[in-house]
Amino acid sequence: MPDLIEKSSTLYTAELGRFAKQLTAPNVGLYNQLRGISVVHGNLQDLSQKVRNFIEDNVDLCQPEKIHVCDGSDTENSHLLKLLQQQGTIVPLPKYENCWLARTNPADTARVESKTFICTDHRADTIPTTKEGVKGTLGNWLSPRDMEAAVKDRFTGCMKGRTMYVIPFSMGPVGSPLSKIGLQVTDSAYVVASMRIMTRMGKPVLDLLLDNRNFVKCLHSVGTPSNGVIQMSHWPCDPERTIILHRPATNDIISYGSGYGGNSLLGKKCFALRIGSTIAQQEGWLAEHMLILGVTNPAGKKRYIAAAFPSACGKTNLAMMTPSLPGYKVECVGDDIAWMRFDNHGQLRAINPENGFFGVAPGTSNSSNPNAMKTIFKDTIFTNVASTSDGGVYWEGLENEIDDSVKITDWLGKPWVKGETKTPAAHPNSRFCTPAVGCPIMDSQWEASEGVPISAILFGGRRPKGVPLVYEAKNWEHGVFIGAAMRSESTAAAEHKGKVIMHDPFAMRPFFGYNFGKYLEHWLSMEDKSSKLPKIFHVNWFRKGNDGKFLWPGFGENSRVLDWILRRIDNEDCAEDTPIGLIPTESALNLANLNEEVDFKELFSLPRDFWMEEVEAIEKYFKEQVGMDLPQTIEEQLKNLKNRVNTL
């Protein structure tokens, strides 16, 4: 009987809803309801039928108490920040302008790769067929039936008593032909405030949607543990049941249980990379985990470079670099994601689909990244950094930039004393979320709707041993092989424990939206699209000497490597062939006026044992992880490398 009443009242309110939609006057009171649930912010008439259907479906599933359609305005943002303060999710940082500190539940501090799935009809569409008995590491597959069950189990009624926020957002400049639209519903006001920084969000995007176009559908809830007990009310989450799902066939993203970073800001890794890469494959372009920078040499010639390094391996730092070489200028287009396609003239062009930086805080300082320091003390949300008694923030790397009289509270809220406390003050994956417009070196073309022309692509990673500072691919196929063979030391950006060298092809291992073998074929196919392909390089700022110290000073000094790369783009004769690729001749790398001694020979040495082992590791990896899906061309590249390394 109660069931009947509920049904009839739903029917009644659905009727009212339909009636409300016919009204042309601004929506008010009773009429601004959806499925009997009041819309406390925004107007139903502003929504296209597809948007409405999407909201209705999720209201039915999640059963929120209220609906808030975001307009992206300052007023809305202030209201949400106030609410977040009341909930204890954020505290103000009075030392700066409109800056906030959030502390998460310590069980929710990074992306969870093991709980991230792509859902396709056939496993082989998502991941390569691995060798018998070998666990695949190139993504996780879930069947449509299991996905449906996982969603039903977690999302039914998951927003009871909460507000469902509806976030219309654009990845890329609003209205650019290279941009894509998404709609995220979430029960986290922190996510709304962060999405407002990281994407173009609000009214202008709703207006675009009025033509009833399609969008990437994003559903997010921080969840509630199955026993109903929320451990920390200021940061609800459900770590045990966290799951991040993607359905490329319908452009759906469904994320449950985490409020942090790439798990919850669905425009970033879920949309721009995983769903993005599947759209890119169909449409003939590239969605990559890459920074984009503009670099002008002393002669005034400007080029753009894209670079793929794994998470926490230096993209933000390179993208905002202050060159130490006189006469050089670096400008920033993006620090994490590049969407790239060849134009009608065969020129590769890139846009940064994001609108802000979600950057690693530890290690950021005036000596390592002064441009980031000029960016992040306005309109910024910090998460899991330490705080100071003068209303500021602190993390590892700021030791020399803090007054000794200031008291520090660590990311867990405990007193922390410099030089005494053994645990880190800030979580190693603590981050700043800050608008790109605040960065003093944003490139004048960073929002150009046609994108910027790319002259070179860099791959790189943390390689403490054996891998030289820089080397150049012999050609496109060799370059694609280098991307496929990338390895890097694991970092705190995901849940991996310890510093192990992991294979991380194209810095995309956690972000492939489809079978990596097919992804390689897609990259190889770019050769047919252009006669002026960008040159490909591999860089490694992280090689260490026998004393365990970095051999290369890095950061601004990396401009010396960019200088060599630019000269190679200009076809200057300044390289020497080696079995692994082209390296600078000893006089070609500008090492003038370096503050510290650099051992060129050691930086570029190619130990035979190391490279024999490296080739073996790549061979084993390809055989076990990619198997039959490995393109013949890549297999040949490996064979050639093996033969060449044998001559070392």
- To ligand SPV, the closest distance from the beta carbon of 502 in angstroms equals 13
**Residue 343: count of CB within 10 angstroms of its CB:** 13
Please state, in angstroms and rounded to a whole number, the distance separating the CA atoms of residues 113 and 252.
18
Burial classification of residue 392, based on how many CB atoms lie within 10 Å of its CB (0-12 exposed, 13-18 middle, 19 or more buried): buried
Residue 362 binds which of ligand GTP, Mn ion, ligand SPV, none (CB < 5-8 A, kind-dependent): ligand GTP
In the complex with ligand SPV, which residue's Cβ is closer, 37 or 502? 502
Rule CB under 6 A: say whether 115 interacts with ligand GTP: no
Could you say which residues in the range 594-623 bind ligand SPV, by CB under 6 A? none
Could you tell me which of 272, 394, 375, 271 has the C-alpha nearest to residue 316? 375
Number of residues located near Mn ion, criterion CB under 5 A: 2
336 touches ligand SPV (CB under 6 A): yes
Q: In this chain, which stretch among 172-180, 262-270, 418-426, 613-621 interacts with ligand SPV, using CB under 6 A?
A: 262-270
- Which residues inside 479-538 make contact with ligand GTP, applying CB under 6 A? 493
- The 3-state DSSP class for residue 645 equals helix
Nearer to ligand GTP, 30 or 594 (CB): 594
* Closest CA relative to residue 505, chosen from 540, 459, 539, 454: 459
| Contact positions with ligand SPV (CB under 6 A) in 491-510 | 493
Cβ proximity to ligand SPV: between 244 and 330 the closer is 244
Smallest separation (angstroms) from ligand GTP to the CB of 539:
9
426 near ligand GTP, judged by CB under 6 A? no
* Closest distance of CB 633 from ligand GTP, Å: 28
The yes-or-no answer on residue 313 being catalytic is yes
Q: Which of 119, 313, 332, 433 is catalytic?
A: 313
Task: Please state, in angstroms and rounded to a whole number, the distance separating the CA atoms of residues 461 and 464.
Answer: 9
Residue 274 interacts with ligand SPV (CB under 6 A)? no
Using CB under 5 A as the binding rule, whether residue 336 contacts Mn ion is answered as yes
Smallest CA-to-CA distance from 383 within 518, 193, 567, 549 is with 193
DSSP string, 208-222: HHTT----EEEEEE-
3-state secondary structure of 293: strand
> Which stretch in 124-132, 229-237, 261-269, 615-623 sits in contact with ligand SPV by CB under 6 A?
261-269
Judge whether 236 and 224 are in contact, CB under 8 Å. Answer: yes
**Least spacing, CB of residue 55 vs ligand GTP, in Å:** 31
The verdict on 447 binding Mn ion (CB under 5 A) reads: no
Judge residue 70's burial from the number of C-beta atoms within 10 Å of its C-beta, 0-12 exposed, 13-18 middle, 19 or more buried: buried
Instruction: Count other Cβ atoms within 10 Å, centred on residue 544.
Output: 14
368 binds, among ligand SPV, ligand GTP, Mn ion, none (CB under 5 to 8 A by kind): ligand GTP
**Residue 288 is a binding residue for Mn ion (CB under 5 A):** no
Binding characters for ligand GTP, 325-364, by CB under 6 A (x = yes): ----------xx----------------------xx-xx-
SS3 category, 544: strand
Q: How many CB atoms lie within 10 A of CB 604?
A: 19
CB of 336 to ligand SPV, least distance (A): 5
Stretch that binds Mn ion, among 167-175, 278-286, 334-342, 602-610 (CB under 5 A): 334-342
Say which entry of ligand GTP, Mn ion, ligand SPV, none residue 111 contacts (CB below 5 to 8 A, set by partner kind).
ligand SPV
Q: Is 261 a residue that touches ligand SPV (CB under 6 A)?
A: yes
Identify residues 361-420 at the interface with Mn ion (CB under 5 A): none
Q: What is the DSSP letter of 236?
A: -
The two three-digit tokens of residue 93, written as one number: 């940082």
**Piece of the chain touching ligand GTP by CB under 6 A; list 209-217, 309-317, 341-349, 450-458:** 309-317
The smaller minimum CB distance to ligand SPV, of residues 71 and 504, is found at 504
Total residues in contact with ligand GTP, by rule CB under 6 A:
22
Residue 335 binds to Mn ion (criterion: CB under 5 A): no
Residue-wise DSSP of 554-568: -GGGGHHHHHHHHHH
Specify the residue, 442 or 507, whose C-beta has the smaller distance to Mn ion: 507
Long-range contacts of 36-41 (CB under 8 A, 24+ apart): 36/9, 36/10, 36/12, 37/64, 37/65, 37/66, 37/67, 38/66, 38/67, 39/66, 39/67, 39/68, 39/69, 40/66, 40/67, 40/68, 40/163, 41/68, 41/69, 41/70, 41/71, 41/76
Instruction: Give the distance, in angstroms, between the CA of residue 590 and the centroid of all CA atoms in the same chain.
Output: 33
Interaction of residue 136 with ligand GTP, rule CB under 6 A: no
- Residue 268 binds: one of ligand GTP, ligand SPV, Mn ion, none (C-beta under 5 to 8 A by kind): ligand SPV
Query: Min. distance of Cβ 340 from ligand GTP in angstroms?
Result: 17
Is residue 295 within 8 Å of 268, Cβ to Cβ? no
**Between 191 and 630, CB nearer to ligand SPV:** 191
Q: How far is the CB of 280 from Mn ion (least distance, A)?
A: 17
Q: Which of residues 343-402 bind ligand SPV (CB under 6 A)?
A: 358
Rounded CA-CA distance 73/75 in Å is 5
Q: 247: which 2 tokens?
A: 């359905």
Classify residue 204 by burial, with Cβ atoms within 10 Å: 0-12, 13-18, 19+.
middle
Residue 181 to residue 217: CA distance in whole angstroms: 9
Taking CB within 5 to 8 Å according to partner kind, which of Mn ion, ligand GTP, ligand SPV, none is near residue 261?
Answer: ligand SPV
State which of residues 106, 175, 466, 554 lies at the interface with ligand GTP (CB under 6 A): 554
User: Helix, strand, coil: what percent of the chain each, to 5?
Assistant: 35, 25, 45
**Distance, CA of 620 to CA of 272 (rounded, Å):** 30
CA angle, 503 as apex, 502 and 506 as ends, to 5°?
A: 130
| Residues 287 to 316 in contact with ligand SPV, rule: CB under 6 A | 311
Residues in contact with ligand SPV by CB under 6 A are 111, 261-262, 268-269, 311, 336, 358, 493
Q: Which residues bind ligand GTP (CB under 6 A)?
A: 309, 311-317, 335-336, 359-360, 362-363, 368, 493, 541-542, 550, 554-555, 558
Q: Which residues are tagged catalytic?
A: 313
What is the contact surface with Mn ion in residues (CB under 5 A)?
A: 311, 336
